């Protein structure tokens, strides 16, 4: 059913259609509309789920750990400082291999305090064993929330998934969305039936202490599962596309006019929408411009990126976060894996809600067309 | 796992152990005891959530677990939040009925860091029981160590790995053999007995098998049978190690040598470091272990050997032969200067340690007999003397004596026990006056008598079944006594199901102040210093704060009152909404009290009114054991090291404080002091 909805509501619809059973939450701007909407669904009886209004984000993710460990499909949402307070539990959730799904309404970290969008919250947690997906539109937010459960709960994966959407510039934007039928979502995403859960009939110990002789094996298995999940993410994306008619690239990356592109931008989230328009403008002028939308930051789709950048002359990398004292983390990752003949420049953009305008992106393209492009902050 | 056993009860207490023995908690751990009894009350249909602390460390060392029920540990401060999630999930799945949801946190995680999560879960009215195991500080855990004789020398039992070659007794050839260790398993906490013979002592559990001689009567051949310690009695003969035969010279690992021009190296007396061990070198080490030291930064090797001592001459001679360094001599000391020699000795482990921690390194056990003899000779020269046929080695390091004693036992000596002595300043000890009062130990040993085996073969064979055996001998048991409950480990050895071990348990811990630490107690972060005498602040009244959340059941329990604990746990599980129990858990390593005193201290805490037993049901407080005539606080504090710094006035202050808290509770007794919201 088509309607116009705020993207936060689209996420809530996704969670409802996924038949989330437990929803621990603590409100924080700009994720609040997601939480309010799910609370509304629960209290109106539209969604049969347990709502836990916890006393902090630390407890929100902790309660989610407890709920998934007890065998229920669990969802939560947060932003920025709340995300930072959860940080301790992030690697525990992934280390215990619990398929929690969490929406992150990306927002800058304090100080100075700022409630607007950048990626400094989630990107600074990229090493904590969560699959990180970044979405561009309300529709993609809805669809990815449903996909996230299927990816997380896959027996070969069993990892938590973060669905990242830009605070305000996506969470508070109204767009046309197509709400899938519950019946079809049920067929795509069956009920959560875990193999391992807290069961008095079959007692198991969760969260033991591992000494130096076994800790590394745990981490190795986690790493293997992360790498393997690349395939699962692709598979889930194509299954979803088949059923609902909406593909998001190959699930890991989405490309725009890359077939013959010589110069391209790579970015995550809403910036990609702006970049598409810029690419079109440049194409009209006869320039072979293109866009790579990175949908999955972790696990890192190295192979797909190598394929997508084949034949490319130069790549401009947009980071909405900076690893202070170094450079944009995505830029650093790409330099490590891409062909060394490819010219690359890193741009720090849109921190703390600063607009990333078409002018900015034109500047990026004209920079990477130079013989020796130089990265910069798009102030 | 799912079969239902009949719920047998002993004195009203469930006999089933859902917190199984075999966990690694310290002997006398109040917390482990509390959990054991809490689990007896909880029963099988329970899900346990534990906060980070001693308990998840000692009970879930991957891949083992002590928990017979589903258990989850996540972090330090969120047990109550995890329980919230589980409660919600179970309700959602319509599986909530009939399941006890138990969250457990220590005092640090309940009073301090996890208080927010606890308060939140109470306010939300989740159906769960929170047990705070209160040992009044942040505590850490213990390590096990026990020494095993392996091919590579003496190793701690925790360092022995599957596949290591371990010395064992071959029951057919009666020879010492090397066998592969095929597994190591945690035997759990068991009653441990000390078995003494004239020359050996070993700690073991009652079911530990020993090889014993079974006498079949005169004229008949005796045989060897395995008997458990429980079956042994005084006078029985057991097989003990006499000699582990002759090993190989030890090849030293290469160390990083200093070169001329290195930082701070301005003079290098070049020497050739030995590649393998030799009798001369081992004798040198023996003397070093007794009287030597190293100052690495100065490249100095020193010996406290005064003029005229025989060891001094011997040392100079050995050194000349081994290294050819020019000694510096004065009336009391001998010095050599060589950066690389200092580094070399330091690299060998155990030798270069402060006097009280010196020890014989494991590799010495693998040496040929002549090198071991030389080593003991060196040690005797510096720290020993002979009286008649008996030799005696004296040291302030009991670790050195223990390892030396084991070494001597592998060399065919008859070795006595380690004796302790205290001597006052000025008394002579090994020919030298003591500079201060000190405690030291000594161990005596002598050679075995020669027996005329050729002539009196059968006669001796009856007396000593293993006469003429190079490696083992029989020894009569002198005593077997229980020495308490201790954690134990065991090895599985391929082919021969035996190995050679002593069995000593050591521990270490950390003790940091929490909101639950009582006033004036000494912890590592509220140390009893000259200026500040321990923790300044009183203990946070957590049960009363929890009761103020309007929950229906709050109670205090103690391991001194098991039945009271059982009743209260049942009430807590039955309560509508959240319930809270605070359990008083003495901690021997944190409170510095004797391991045997845990329950006694818990009882004294009740009897002195330090930890009153009460419950708050529907907002009304009632005492379960009213202490009309309390014991003086001193009875309680004097048993604990954490209070030993206190003056009479301070104890009086504490007494006043304890009285005031008790009077406050008496003031609200029987009244609806707390509003009920759930």
More confident residue, B393 or A152: A152
Candidate ranges A179-193, B14-28, B310-324, B447-461; pick with highest mean pLDDT: A179-193
Q: Rounded mean pLDDT of A268-296?
A: 98
Contact A349, A271 (CB under 8 A): yes
Closest to B225 (Cα-Cα) out of B214, B217, B241: B214
Closest partner residue to B93 among A55, A69, A71, by Cβ? Answer: A71
CA distance B432 to B533: 40
What is the ipTM metric for this complex? 0.93
pLDDT, tens digit, for every residue of A256-276? 999 999 999 999 999 999 999
Tens of pLDDT, residues B82-118: 999 999 999 999 999 999 999 999 999 999 999 999 9
Per the structure, the complete domain to which residue A354 belongs is given by: 254-378
pLDDT at B97 (0 to 100): 95
Angle between helices B369-383 and B279-291 (to 10 degrees): 30
A163 domain-assigned: yes
A216–chain B nearest CA distance, Å: 12
Residues of B in contact with A69 (CB under 8 A): 72, 82, 85-86
Asked whether the beta carbons of B305 and B291 are under 8 A apart, the reply is yes
Q: How far apart, in whole angstroms, are the C-alpha atoms of residue A168 and residue A354?
A: 12
**Nearest alpha-carbon partner for B582 in B539, B611, B617:** B611
Same domain for A19 and A85, yes or no, is yes
Q: Tell me the shortest Cα–Cα distance from B352 to chain A, in angstroms.
A: 28
Q: For position B525, what pLDDT does the model report?
A: 83
Average pLDDT estimate for B615-634: 95
Same domain assignment for residues A233 and A268: no
- The last residue of a domain, from among A244, A279, A311: A244
**Nearest chain B residue to A204, by CA:** B70
Q: What value does the mean pLDDT of chain A take?
A: 97
The reply to whether A299 falls in a domain is yes
- Structural domains in chain B plus CATH codes: 9-141+511-668 (3.40.50.970), 147-242+459-493 (2.170.16.10), 279-447 (3.10.28.10)
Nearest CA in chain B to A69: B86
For residues B589 and B261, which has the higher predicted lDDT (pLDDT)?
B589
Q: What is the pLDDT of residue B207?
A: 58
Identify the pLDDT of residue B359.
81
Q: How many helices (H) and strands (E) does chain B have?
A: 17, 31
Distance between CA B394 and CA B396 in Å, rounded?
A: 7
Q: How confident is the model at residue B219 (pLDDT cuts 50, 70, 90)?
A: low
Domain end (from A178, A213, A244): A244
> Closest by alpha carbon to B352, among B285, B306, B304?
B285
Total domain count, chain A: 2
Mean pLDDT of A206-224: 94
A211 belongs to a structural domain: yes
> Is the model more confident about B203 or about A111?
A111
CA angle B3, B7, B12 (to 5 degrees): 160
Is residue A167 scored above 50 in pLDDT?
yes
Global pTM reads 0.68
For chain B, give the mean pLDDT: 81
Are B92 and A206 within 8 A, CB to CB?
no
Q: Is residue A178 part of a domain?
A: yes
If you measure CA to CA, which chain B residue comes closest to A76? Answer: B85
- The reported pLDDT for the residue numbered B460 is 47
Name which of B536, B666, B611 is nearest B107 in CA terms: B611
What CA–CA distance (Å, rounded) separates B118 from B248? 62
CATH number at A170 reads 3.40.50.970
Residue A310 has pLDDT above 70, yes or no: yes
- The answer to whether A68 faces chain B, any CB pair under 8 Å, is yes
For chains A and B, what is the number of CB pairs under 8 angstroms? 162
The DSSP code sequence of B280-347 is: HHHHHHHHHHHHEEEEGGGTEEEE---TT-HHHHHHHHHHHHHT-PPPEE-SS-EEEE-HHHHHHHHT
Q: Is the peptide bond before B182 cis (omega within 30 degrees of 0)?
A: no
Residues A181 and A297 in one domain: no
CA–CA dist A147, A76 (Å, integer): 15
Tell whether A41 and A113 lie within a shared domain: yes
Closest CA to B638 of B594, B579, B574: B594
Tell me how long chain A is.
Answer: 379
Tell me phi and psi for residue A361, to 5 degrees: -75, -30
Q: Is the pLDDT of residue A280 over 90?
A: yes
CA B109 to chain centre: 25
Give chain A's count of helices (H) and strands (E): 13, 16
pLDDT at B429: 60
Three-class secondary structure of residue A276 per DSSP = helix
Q: Around Cβ B597, how many Cβ atoms within 10 Å? A: 17
Report how far residue A97's alpha carbon sits from residue A157's, in angstroms, rounded to the nearest whole number: 8
What integer pLDDT is reported at residue A361 of this predicted model?
Answer: 98
Residue B590 contacts residue B509 (beta carbons within 8 Å): yes
Residues A76 and A180 reside in one and the same domain? yes
Last residue of a domain, one of A244, A264, A289: A244
Measure CB to CB from residue A203 to each of B1, B81, B85 and give the nearest one: B1
Cα distance between residue A75 and residue A99, in whole Å:
10
Residues A231 and A327 in one domain: no
More confident residue, B638 or B474: B638
Beta bridge partner(s), residue A76: A102
Q: Does A273 touch chain B (CB under 8 A)?
A: no
- B62–A208 C-beta distance less than 8 A: yes
Least confident of A82-86, A176-180, B10-14, B17-21: B10-14
pLDDT for residue B496: 43
User: Are A217 and A293 found together in one domain?
Assistant: no
List B residues 110-169 in contact with A (Cβ-Cβ < 8 A): 116-117, 119-121, 123-124
Q: Tell me: pLDDT of B497 over 70.
A: no
Residue A92 falls inside a structural domain: yes
Amino acid B2: pLDDT: 42
Does residue A103 share a domain with residue A29?
Answer: yes
Least CB-CB distance to B89: which of A21, A56, A88?
Answer: A21
Q: Is the pLDDT of residue B493 over 60?
A: no
Q: Taking 70 as the threshold, does the pLDDT of residue B434 lie above it?
A: no
Q: What is the pLDDT of residue B418?
A: 82
Output B457 or B446, whichever has higher pLDDT.
Answer: B446
Residue B298 has pLDDT above 90, yes or no: no
Provide the 10 A C-beta neighbour count for residue A378: 19
Which pLDDT score is estimated for B529? 85
Q: Tell me, yes or no, whether A209 and A80 share the same domain.
A: yes
| B186 interfacial to chain A (CB closer than 8 Å) | no
| Minimal CA separation from B131 to chain A, in Å | 17
Tell which residue, B334, B368, B406, has the closest CA to residue B156. B406
Q: What separation in angstroms does the CA of A232 have from each of A26, A97, A225, A226, B249?
A: 31, 16, 10, 10, 58
DSSP per-residue string spanning A27-86 = --TTTHHHHHHHHHHHHHTSS--EEEE-SSHHHHHHHHHHHHHTT--BEEEE-HHHHHHH
Nearest to A34 by CA among A114, A139, A95, A105: A105
pLDDT at A133: 98
Look-up of token digits 């050996």: B200
User: Which neighbouring-strand residues pair with B413?
Assistant: B447
Q: What is the pLDDT of residues B40-74, one digit of tens each?
A: 999 999 999 999 988 988 899 889 999 999 999 99
What span, in angstroms and rounded, lies between the C-alpha atoms of A223 and A212?
17
Give the tokens for residue A285: 């002028």
Q: Determine, yes or no, domain membership for A249.
A: no
Residue A70 forms contact with B (CB below 8 Å):
yes
**What pLDDT is stored for residue B432 in this prediction?**
63
Inter-chain CB proximity B85 and A55 less than 8 Å: no
**Residue A220 pLDDT:** 97
The 8-class DSSP code of residue B61 comes to: B
- Distance from the Cα of B80 to chain A's closest Cα (Å) equals 8
Q: CA quadruple B401, B407, B408, B414: dihedral positive or negative?
A: positive
Q: Give the integer Cα–Cα distance in Å for B160 and A203.
A: 31
Report the DSSP pairing between strands A101-106 and A161-166: parallel
The reply to whether A261 and A221 lie within a common domain is no
pLDDT surpasses 90 at A295: yes
Cβ atoms of residues B466 and B154 within 8 Å: no
Q: How confident is the model at residue B495 (pLDDT cuts 50, 70, 90)?
A: very low
Taking the C-alpha atoms of residue B114 and residue B120, their distance in angstroms, rounded to an integer, is: 10
Q: Are residues A234 and A261 in the same domain?
A: no
Percent residues over pLDDT 70 in chain A: 100
Q: Kind of pairing, strands A314-319 and A263-267?
A: parallel
Please determine, for residue B406, whether its predicted confidence score (pLDDT) is greater than 70. Answer: yes
pLDDT at A193: 96
Mean pLDDT of the B594-623 span: 95
How many percent of chain A have pLDDT more than 90?
99
pLDDT at residue B338, as a whole number:
87
Instruction: Examine the pLDDT at A10 and tell me if it is beyond 80.
Output: yes
Q: B142-174, pLDDT tens digit by residue?
A: 434 345 666 666 666 556 666 776 666 555 555
Per-residue b or e along B506-538, where b marks 16 or more CB atoms closer than 10 Å to that residue's CB: eeebebebbbbbbebbbbeebebeeeebbbeee
Angle A119-A125-A126 (CA atoms, 0-180°, nearest 5)? 85
Give the pLDDT confidence score for residue A298 in this predicted structure. Answer: 98
**pLDDT: which is higher, B191 or A224:** A224
Range list of H helices, B443-490: 457-463
CA distance A25 to chain B (A): 11
Q: In sequence order, which ranges of B25-78 are alpha helices (DSSP H)?
A: 30-42, 54-59
Phi, psi angle pair for B23, to nearest 5°: -70, 170
3-state secondary structure of A360: helix
Cα gap B493→B497, rounded to integer Å: 5
User: Where residue B505 falls among pLDDT bands split at 50, 70, 90?
Assistant: very low
Q: Are residues A127 and A10 in the same domain?
A: yes
Distance from CA of B20 to the nearest CA of A (A): 13
Q: Specify the pLDDT at position B260.
A: 66
């Amino acid at each position: 059913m088509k309607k116009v909805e705020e993207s936060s509501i689209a996420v809530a619809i996704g969670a409802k259609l996924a038949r989330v059973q437990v929803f621990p939450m603590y409100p924080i701007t700009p994720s609040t509309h997601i939480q309010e909407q799910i609370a509304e669904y629960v209290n109106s009886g539209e969604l049969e789920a347990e709502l836990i209004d916890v006393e902090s984000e630390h407890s929100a993710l902790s309660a989610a750990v407890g709920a998934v460990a007890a065998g229920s499909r669990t969802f939560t949402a947060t932003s920025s400082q709340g995300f930072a307070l959860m940080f301790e539990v992030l690697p525990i959730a992934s280390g215990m291999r619990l398929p929690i799904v969490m929406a992150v309404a990306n927002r800058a970290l304090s100080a100075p305090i700022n409630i607007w969008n950048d990626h400094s919250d989630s990107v600074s947690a990229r090493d904590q064993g969560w699959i990180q997906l970044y979405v561009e539109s309300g529709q993609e937010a809805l669809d990815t929330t449903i996909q996230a459960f299927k990816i997380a709960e896959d027996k070969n994966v069993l990892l938590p998934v973060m669905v990242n959407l830009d605070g305000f510039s996506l969470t508070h934007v109204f767009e046309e969305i197509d709400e899938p039928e519950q019946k079809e979502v049920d067929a795509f995403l069956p009920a959560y039936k875990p193999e391992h859960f807290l069961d008095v009939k079959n007692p198991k110990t969760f969260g033991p202490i591992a000494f130096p002789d076994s800790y590394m094996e745990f981490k190795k298995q986690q790493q293997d599962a992360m790498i393997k999940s690349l395939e699962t993410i692709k598979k889930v994306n194509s299954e979803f596309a088949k059923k609902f008619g909406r593909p998001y690239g190959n699930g890991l990356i989405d490309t725009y006019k890359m077939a013959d592109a010589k110069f391209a931008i790579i970015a995550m989230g809403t910036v990609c929408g702006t970049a598409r328009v810029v690419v079109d403008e440049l194409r009209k002028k006869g320039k072979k411009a293109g866009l790579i939308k990175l949908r999955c930051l972790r696990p890192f789709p190295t192979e797909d990126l190598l394929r997508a950048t084949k034949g490319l002359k130069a790549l401009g990398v947009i980071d909405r976060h900076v690893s202070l004292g170094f450079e944009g983390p995505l830029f650093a990752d790409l330099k490590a894996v891409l062909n060394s003949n490819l010219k690359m420049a890193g741009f720090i953009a849109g921190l703390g809600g600063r607009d990333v305008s078409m002018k900015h992106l034109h500047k990026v393209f004209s920079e990477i067309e130079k013989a020796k492009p130089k990265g910069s902050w798009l102030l | 796992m799912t079969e239902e056993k009949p719920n047998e009860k002993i004195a009203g207490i469930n006999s089933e152990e859902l917190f199984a023995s075999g966990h690694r908690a310290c002997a006398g751990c109040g917390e482990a005891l509390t959990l054991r009894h809490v689990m007896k009350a909880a029963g099988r249909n329970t899900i346990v959530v534990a906060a980070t602390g001693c308990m998840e460390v000692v009970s879930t060392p991957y891949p083992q677990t002590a928990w017979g029920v589903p258990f989850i540990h996540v972090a330090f401060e969120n047990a109550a939040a995890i329980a919230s999630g589980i409660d919600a999930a179970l309700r959602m799945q319509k599986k909530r009925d009939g399941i006890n949801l138990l969250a457990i946190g220590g005092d640090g995680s309940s009073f301090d860091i996890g208080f927010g999560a606890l308060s939140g879960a109470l306010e939300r009215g989740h159906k769960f029981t929170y047990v705070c195991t209160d040992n009044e500080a942040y505590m850490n855990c213990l390590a096990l160590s026990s020494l095993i004789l392996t091919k590579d020398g003496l190793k701690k039992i925790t360092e022995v790995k599957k596949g290591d070659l371990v010395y064992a007794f071959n029951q057919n050839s009666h020879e010492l053999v090397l066998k592969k260790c095929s597994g190591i398993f945690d035997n759990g906490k068991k009653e441990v007995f000390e078995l003494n013979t004239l020359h050996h002592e070993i700690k073991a559990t009652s079911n530990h098998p020993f090889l014993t001689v079974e006498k079949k009567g005169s004229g008949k051949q005796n045989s060897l049978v395995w008997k458990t310690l429980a079956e042994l009695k005084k006078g029985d003969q057991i097989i003990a190690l006499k000699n582990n035969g002759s090993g190989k010279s030890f090849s030293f690992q290469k160390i990083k040598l200093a070169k001329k021009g290195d930082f701070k190296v301005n003079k290098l007396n070049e020497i050739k470091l030995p590649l393998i061990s030799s009798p001369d070198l081992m004798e040198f080490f023996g003397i070093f272990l007794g009287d030597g030291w190293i100052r690495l930064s100065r490249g100095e090797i020193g010996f406290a050997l005064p003029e005229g001592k025989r060891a001094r001459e011997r040392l100079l001679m050995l050194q000349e032969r081994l290294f050819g360094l020019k000694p510096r001599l004065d009336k009391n000391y001998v010095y050599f200067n060589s950066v690389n020699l200092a580094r070399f000795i330091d690299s060998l482990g155990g030798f270069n340690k402060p006097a009280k921690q010196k020890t014989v390194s494991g590799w010495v056990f693998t040496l040929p007999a002549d090198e071991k003899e030389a080593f003991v000779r060196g040690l005797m020269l510096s720290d020993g003397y002979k009286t008649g046929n008996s030799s005696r080695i004296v040291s302030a390091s009991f670790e050195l004596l223990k390892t030396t004693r084991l070494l001597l036992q592998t060399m065919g000596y008859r070795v006595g026990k380690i004796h302790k002595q205290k001597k006052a300043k000025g008394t002579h000890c090994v020919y030298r006056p003591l500079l201060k009062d000190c405690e030291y130990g000594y161990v005596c040993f002598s050679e075995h008598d020669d027996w005329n085996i050729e002539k009196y073969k059968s006669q001796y064979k009856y007396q000593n079944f293993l006469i003429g055996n190079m490696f083992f001998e029989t020894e009569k048991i002198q005593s077997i006594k229980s020495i308490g409950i201790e954690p134990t480990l065991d090895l599985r050895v391929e082919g021969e199901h035996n190995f050679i071990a002593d069995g000593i348990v050591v521990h270490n811990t950390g003790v940091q102040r929490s909101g639950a630490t009582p006033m004036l107690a000494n912890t590592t972060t509220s140390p009893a210093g000259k200026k500040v005498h321990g923790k300044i602040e009183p203990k946070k009244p957590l049960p009363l704060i929890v009761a103020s959340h309007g929950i229906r059941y709050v109670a205090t329990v103690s391991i001194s009152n098991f039945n009271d604990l059982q009743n209260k746990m049942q009430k807590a599980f039955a309560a509508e909404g959240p319930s809270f129990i605070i359990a008083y858990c003495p901690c021997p390593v944190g409170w510095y009290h004797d391991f045997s005193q845990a329950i006694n201290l818990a009882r004294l805490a009740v009897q002195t009114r330090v930890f009153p037993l009460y419950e708050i049901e529907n907002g009304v407080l009632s005492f379960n054991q009213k202490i009309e005539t309390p014991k003086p606080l001193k009875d309680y504090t004097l048993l604990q090291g954490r209070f030993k710094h206190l003056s009479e006035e301070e104890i009086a202050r504490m007494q006043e404080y304890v009285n005031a808290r008790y009077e406050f509770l008496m003031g609200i007794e029987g009244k609806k002091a707390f509003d009920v919201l759930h």
